[in-house]
Structure 1
């Protein structure tokens, strides 16, 4: 175990704070948010709605799956720094028990689910980052100056420098889960109704029509006999009616009652709160072969790009030294998300080579292929003449 792990454990036990209460403290005082549908929507309840869990998982894992690089700014260009020590924290292990993928995924997930955003503490030794730890929000907190917007951070109620905290803020000062609380509440209500829809709680399967004049005791006996024969584990047996009784089944079409349409609309409504195209969360009612790729580009441009920009800035502010911050940046590689199908990529690369915008080796690099000899020349293969074959040497006549 490393020395900074021992130093971290020397902190005093955790103390709760009313200034930044967690879910347990809120429930202790009954301070839970109830929607207009009368349903309390906390994180645990919200994640039970499939579209909410899918949206949070989709965004957080898409960001964490991208390759992260450190670049040095040289004039107008950004040059890779493949041996920078920060890459070991962001790619391999952020600390002894958390990988870089898990850390980034958790920071983005917290920003999607908590109004305070995603926070992580950078442990420095001799001014250099040695590990990054994501604490519970009741342990790592911040106070906001309402006049200037300055954030003052506290780790276990002890002040820590702002430059030692990675902080990814949600948009609109509230996380998407909080902004969609009413829509999630309606989705929960529809799910609960769906659970009752196919049981006796929603609507009886039918009615026994009993002739007028049957005594009360006979009615009770007939009802008990019917339930014994046709409810519970014995349902489906042959019905035997006597004394003129008849059975009239009730029909109920949930589609005609627009129940399924309401559930589909809630999927779209929650997807809008997370700024995700509906096909990305499984609603394929309006998806076609022609617009699926366009929806993927919209997901990168309008959903992921703001989170990526915010995370790149938060990492740069907290991880670089004062000297490096001016000429170093952290970038996530978007190429994996912008790649089109092979036919489209081949057509685009061929067009760029023909217009002499790129050379063949640059096109091969986009395809993950090694360079070839002579591929650095900017030539148009459609009009460039092939080299003429060398003339054959005159052979002496065999008769001579």
Structure 2
């Protein structure tokens, strides 16, 4: 019994083994030791942390807007509470950028996915909070796969939870755990190799029998003289007729760096990132780098963006608002770095009368200007104020000349 009747009893967190992590499986003997790697160890592999940061920060850096459909026209709705959560402050200590980044990072590194709780006032979303691991838990119905959420062991409605999950109900880090474990093992081996300078690069041969004590004394002296980075490169002095024979590198030693490079490629495949964006540039050229950037947007970012938009639409809008409002990420921002290509595309779209100048200025973050709502081709349509006739074409034949 709780001894203080005037105070609320603390909530006791109950953990479940219904969805055990790899660490728990190894702890209880369900997985052989050495085949598992914790999330913290996996993120210490540079290729893994680079992939997670690349995807999560790229999605969070995109321009996000709340759109409202009025008739056949869709317009921005910056005054909606969801827009404030996503573009300004998700809560008092988290920005909208950090909220989106942490949701995507959670979906990339945790099988349960990225989770956030939405606080509502009179049914409207006011803030979104990403709690620490195990504070928000989820269980799935065995028949319908319907999720049931708990916050600090108290049930909460699904409409109050932003839940971003990966495919197969597993995250990329979990599905690539073996490849990441091998990359980590190679990294540890390389670190030990260079830290311990007494690597057996050769064999000491002696014509005399040294015995156990003699061998130990020789090894102790060899390590004291040449082990460690400070003693690297010193000249070896042998005694009692001992000789030193250099050992040649094996094929495994020669291919060690290539093996480490291959593990970077495996990790890139798991996260669907171009290898060049993980700074593996051995096969990058000027032409395929641009193509890889396009494939990164099409095959990696957009699937996560669409899943995130659906999760946000489900949790940030009232049921009656979902047919009218939606969250939209502007993928066009990914081309901002290539200013020449962006300017050429905008100029071509204006000339083709697909967009008007004010729509193009909106893409660039500029204010509308007078007369910019007209769909006109600036290359052939000249303002009548200038007194210059419109050039002749098939739709505008030249005037007939009258005979003198």
- Alignment-derived partner of residue 170 in structure 1: 166
2:10 to 12, 24, 38: 12
Residues 1:59 and 2:55 are matched in the alignment: yes
Q: Any conservation in 1 of the 2:198–2:223 contact (CA below 8 Å)?
A: no
Inter-partner Cα distance in structure 2 for 1:161 and 1:385: 60
Q: Which runs of 5+ in 1 are unaligned?
A: 1-8, 391-400
Q: Secondary structure at 2:263's aligned position in 1?
A: helix
Report the CA distance between 1:365 and its aligned residue.
4.3
2:259 to 250, 259, 262: 262
Matches within 5 A, 1:297-316: 297-316=294-313
Q: 1:12 to 1:122 in 2, by over 3 A?
A: farther
> Structure 2 length normalisation: TM-score?
0.82
Q: Which moved more, 1:367-376 or 1:331-340?
A: 367-376
Deviation string 1:90-144 (CA, Å, 9 cap, x unpaired) is 2222222222222221111111111111111112222222221222342211221
Query: What RMSD, in angstroms, separates the aligned Cα atoms of the two structures?
Result: 3.2
- Alignment-derived partner of residue 394 in structure 1: none
Report the CA distance between 1:355 and its aligned residue.
3.1
Deviation string 1:320-361 (CA, Å, 9 cap, x unpaired) is 112212211011122211346222233333333333333444
Inter-partner Cα distance in structure 2 for 1:284 and 1:155: 45
Q: Which runs of 5+ in 2 are unaligned?
A: 1-6, 390-404
Q: Secondary structure at 1:198's aligned position in 2?
A: helix
Residues 1:281 and 2:278 are matched in the alignment: yes
Q: 1:170 to 1:200 in 2, by over 3 A?
A: same
Q: 1:243 to 1:294 in 2, by over 3 A?
A: same
Report the CA distance between 1:262 and its aligned residue.
1.3
Inter-partner Cα distance in structure 2 for 1:376 and 1:130: 36
- Alignment-derived partner of residue 393 in structure 1: none
- Alignment-derived partner of residue 347 in structure 2: 350
Residues 1:292 and 2:289 are matched in the alignment: yes
Report the CA distance between 1:218 and its aligned residue.
7.1
Q: 1:182 to 1:324 in 2, by over 3 A?
A: same
Q: Any conservation in 2 of the 1:196–1:202 contact (CA below 8 Å)?
A: no
> Structure 1 length normalisation: TM-score?
0.83
Q: Any conservation in 1 of the 2:59–2:101 contact (CA below 8 Å)?
A: yes
Q: Any conservation in 2 of the 1:20–1:141 contact (CA below 8 Å)?
A: no
2:137 to 141, 144, 155: 141
Residues 1:122 and 2:96 are matched in the alignment: no
Q: Secondary structure at 1:129's aligned position in 2?
A: strand
- Alignment-derived partner of residue 396 in structure 1: none
Inter-partner Cα distance in structure 2 for 1:39 and 1:171: 23
Q: 1:239 to 1:112 in 2, by over 3 A?
A: closer
Inter-partner Cα distance in structure 2 for 1:60 and 1:93: 18
